[in-house]
Amino acid sequence: MTTSKKDPVLVVVQLSGGNDYMNTVIPYNNPFYYDNRPKLGVAENEGLRLDENLSLHPSMKPLQDIYANGDLAIIHGVGWSNSNRSHFRCMDIWHTAEPDDFASEGWLGKAAKQLDPASENPATVVNIGQGLPRALVADGVSVASVSDINAYGLLTSVEQDLERQRILNHFAQMYAPATGRAPIMEYIARTGTDALKGADEIKKAAQSYQSNVEYGSNTISSRLKDVAKVHLADIGSKIIYTEYGGFDTHAAQASSHPKLWSDVSSAIADFWDDLKSQNAEDNVSMLVFSEFGRRVKENGGGTDHGAAGVSFLIGPNVKGGSFSEYPDIRAEALVEGDLAPSIDFRSVYSSILDNWMQLDSQEVIGKQFTNIENLF
């Protein structure tokens, strides 16, 4: 654990669409990998070696460097039993930590209740991006949510109210089809634009930020730069969430997947360089996840929806290395053509909540899950 007296901060990066685990962390020493990936397989001599069995995709050099520095934990085979390969349902499960029922509150929203029980700070939870991620939603929890910090800081009060309402409307459109429109509209009516009142605090982040780090020009770079602005503004934010899409690689994966990971890897490295250059990294950890992995067998030009995937934890307090087991990719070990999970995603959550955030994971998740040893 950190020796700093500052409160722990969790940054969450959601990779939407279902990232291809097997072409992200590559079992280059396994012949079954190449049997299933005749066109998309990354050659043994092209991957970025992690150990005698695994390599990272060649586009992930910045993350290999972080791994070599001991600040990147790779958690293998993350998932749950009986995943149904639906984008919406699987992401909903990740957001609510409830695979067996439809829950109304998100895991981070419930965590925020422990962090700020009296809702004294409207910027305890911040979202950078469109809409309002379900993971952050809980009764009585305000979320500061903006799509672009610099643009938001320039808006008039009237325009800010319109921006807030637009975000809430986008939220309603995202979730009403699955949960029924009435509960979502009830939520919006109950919280109104006050749910996003913390966005006013974000203006301080735009005004005070200075950095010599040059981020990329893509969306994830812009969003992680905004995450850095929020953290560096020192407005008491303890959960900062953002998202990057495009990982639904049914076709043209050979060109799209490398570009996605090049963008994400560089943005993550720039984010940490930014914080380190300003001595602001010591109380931050980052979770990177996607709703599921892809099928073991390629479809020719891409990969279809799968099950178990990979998650990453990054930061100076993370004990780097590989955790859990890489799933068996032999045909007889697969579940309907998918990798079987080797660890429940809620064990990842409980490890973060108990051992990093210093919260009660059972209160958030609903029951006790085994924590990952030596992760922090």
**Of 3-7, 39-43, 289-293, the least confident:** 3-7
In this prediction, residue 3 has a pLDDT band, given cuts at 50, 70 and 90, of: very low
Distance CA 152, CA 69 (A): 36
Distance CA 215, CA 93 (A): 32
CATH numbers and ranges of domains, the chain = 9-16+29-365 (3.40.720)
The angle subtended at Cα 84 by Cα 182 and Cα 80, nearest 5°, is 105
Mean pLDDT, to the nearest integer, of 41-55? Answer: 97
In this prediction, residue 159 has a pLDDT band, given cuts at 50, 70 and 90, of: low
Distance CA 239, CA 48 (A): 31
Distance CA 334, CA 237 (A): 42
Q: What is the DSSP string of 12-23?
A: EEEETT---GGG
Indicate the pTM of the whole model.
Answer: 0.91
In this prediction, residue 19 has a pLDDT band, given cuts at 50, 70 and 90, of: very high
pLDDT at residue number 4? 47
Identify residue 112 by its one-letter amino acid code: A
Quick: pLDDT tens for 262-309: 999 999 999 999 999 999 999 999 999 999 999 999 999 999 999 999
Mean pLDDT, to the nearest integer, of 244-259? Answer: 97
How many angstroms separate the most distant Cα atoms in the chain?
Answer: 61
**Of 66-80, 126-140, 179-193, 313-327, the least confident:** 179-193
Per-residue CA distances from 350 to 96, 164, 308 (Å): 13, 32, 18
Distance CA 327, CA 307 (A): 11
pLDDT at residue number 154? 43
Dihedral angle sign, alpha carbons of residues 206, 191, 360, 342: negative
Determine how β-strand 9-15 pairs with β-strand 239-244: parallel
Per-residue CA distances from 295 to 5, 94, 179, 218, 264 (Å): 44, 19, 28, 28, 22
Structure-token match 């990842």, residue found: 348
Distance CA 334, CA 225 (A): 39
